[in-house]
Amino acid sequence: MSAQYPDDLFYTKDHEWARIEDRDGAKFATIGVTRYAVEQLGDVTQVDLPKEGEQVKQAEVFGSVESVKAVSDLFAPVTGKVVKVNSPLSDSPEYVNEDPYDEGWMIQVAVTNAKELDGLLSADAYQAFLREQGE
């Protein structure tokens, strides 16, 4: 089982995470939802994601997650073009519950503006935010 909130990820107050990689001088962000989000959602039954080539915009909705009880929007941590989609989630949405930071990843984005990363939270800051919220 992966850590609750891995140190190498960036987080948002909407409970998404982003893993940043440098490739050929460009930055790519792999995006998913946090352990906290998964615990709040309960069993995920459907994940709706954008297609490769579509644009996502920081803090705007890029998809949704249906759990047994409810549907929740997904908010993009960064702006950019979708370069990869975790298509197995379409048949196996339970990966989001079982392994939110690895097999449960959702999309990978070519980051348009690396400055946006400055506004994301570290693992410590995200956990401090959760504590502030009384969680």
Partner 1 sequence: MRRTPLYEAHVRLGAKMVDFGGWQMPVSYPAGILQEHHATRTAVGVFDVCHMGEVHFRGLGAAATVQRLVTNDVARLENGRAFYTVACLPSGGIVDDLIVYRLAADHYVAVVNASNSDKDFAWFREHGGQDCDIRDASAETGLIAYQGPAAAKTLQPLTNVPLESLRPFSFATDAKVGGLAAWIARTGYTGEDGFEIFCASTDAPAIWDRLIAAAGAVGGKAVGLGARDTLRLEARLPLYGNDLDDKTTPLEAGLGWVVKLDGDDFIGRDALRLQAAAGLTRKLTGFVMTERGTARHGYAIFDEDGAAAGTVTSGGPAPTLNQNVGLGYVPGRLDIPGTKLSVDCRGKRVNAEVVKGPFYKRANKGQS
Q: What does the binding site for partner 1 look like in residue numbers (CB under 8 A)?
A: 42-43, 45-46, 64, 66, 68-71, 90, 97
Minimum distance from CB of 94 to partner 1 (Å)? Answer: 8
Contact 11, 125 (CB under 8 A): yes
Minimum distance from CB of 46 to partner 1 (Å)? Answer: 6
Residues 6+ apart with CB under 8 A from 6: 17, 101, 123
How far, in Å, CA of 98 to CA of 88, rounded? Answer: 14
Compare residues 46 and 113 and give the one whose CB is closer to partner 1: 46
Compare residues 55 and 97 and give the one whose CB is closer to partner 1: 97
Minimum distance from CB of 110 to partner 1 (Å)? Answer: 26
The per-type count for the chain, helices as H runs and strands as E runs, is 3, 9
Minimum distance from CB of 10 to partner 1 (Å)? Answer: 27
Compare residues 4 and 97 and give the one whose CB is closer to partner 1: 97
Category of 134 on φ-ψ map: left (φ > 0), alpha (ψ -120 to 50) or beta: left
